[in-house]
Amino acid sequence: MNANIRIVQALLRHDLRAFVHKVFVALTLGQTYVRSWHIDAIIYQLERIRRGEIRRLIINMPPRSLKSITTSVAFPAFLLGHDPTRRVICVSYSGDLAKKHSNDFRAVLESDWYREIFPDTRIGLYKNTETEIELTARGFRLATSVGGTLTGRGGDTLIIDDPLKPDDACSESRRTGANRWFANTLLSRLDDKRTGAIVVVMQRVHLDDLTGYLLGQSDEWELLNLPAIAYADETIPIGSPEPQPKSRRSPFGTRTACNSRSDENGNWQ
């Protein structure tokens, strides 16, 4: 094998930043990947989750910022590549979106380049559906939506990607329903609450959304807040000697979802 190929494979195997870049290129043909410090900040925190340094992580960021490819597709693939016995449950606000992320995840695992860098991570013969992909080592990625049934299922890593869509932000019943489903159903699916990990990545849509609910319930959560506009200087760790400040420049509005048009709402905060 060419020495350069071995170097690239080693980089993809050990560097989540490079792995996310590769996943983006593989899944979004014709689009250009532009590396940004906010991706480095997300990856730094996800790696802390993978290494067991933190157990509870909230990432708040605007839409269209690679949050789903990074956290719902690339991160589970990287996690299971290093440990194919991991049991990952991924949640989105809708069943269709959950299935899309699951299918993207499958496309990554079935690719030649992934099979070369993680030869022990293989999809098994018995569970390979739009919602569940089980590996030969008995690890899996299970997809569901908020409000979905998880009876009898458990995992060691829970990833919640946008539990509430912006159109539902003004509905108290939908906000409360999403928060209660997390507390009463999803949280109970964690195999071991002491060692299991939970990642919540979402756009802020209301003061009482899942982020607001969780931060009001406990101080155990690590919060990575990446608004489109920073109102004060802040240093954000990105896993390098040069932490990056938030940019103050943005073309987006900063209103909340319940008092403005949906295209100028709190998604960008």
Tokens of 127: 């569970």
Using CA atoms, how far apart are residues 266 and 260, in angstroms rounded to an integer? 9
Least confident of 24-33, 133-142, 205-214, 246-255: 246-255
- Per-residue pLDDT of 110-119, as tens digits, reads 999 999 999 9
Burial of residue 165, with CB atoms counted within 10 A of its CB: 0-12 exposed, 13-18 middle, 19 or more buried = middle
Give all domains of the chain, ordered by start, each with its CATH number.
3-268 (3.40.50.300)
CA angle 116–53–220, rounded 5-degree value: 130
Residue position matching structure tokens 């103050």: 248
Beta bridge partners of 69: none
Helix axes 37-50, 16-27, angle to 10 degrees: 120
Residues 32 and 185: their CA atoms lie apart, in Å, by 39
Nearest-5° Cα angle at 152, 138 to 179: 110
For the full predicted model, state whether its pTM sits above 0.85: yes
**Under 8 Å between Cβ of 24 and 166:** no
Confidence of residue 31 (pLDDT cuts 50, 70, 90): very high
pLDDT of residue 167: 87
Give the β-pairing of 87-92 and 157-161. parallel
Calculate the alpha carbon distances from 180 to 173, 183, 199 in Å. 10, 5, 17
Going from the C-alpha of 165 to that of each of 67, 162, 207, 241, the distances in angstroms are 15, 7, 14, 36
- Taking only the tens place, the pLDDT of each residue in 92-150 is 999 999 999 999 999 999 999 999 999 999 999 989 999 999 999 999 999 999 998 88
Task: Determine what percent of the chain is predicted with pLDDT higher than 70.
Answer: 88
DSSP E strand boundaries for 117-206:
123-128, 132-135, 140-145, 157-161, 197-202
Give the torsion through C-alpha atoms of 54, 62, 204, 269, to 10 deg: 110
Tell me the two tokens of residue 30: 């014709």
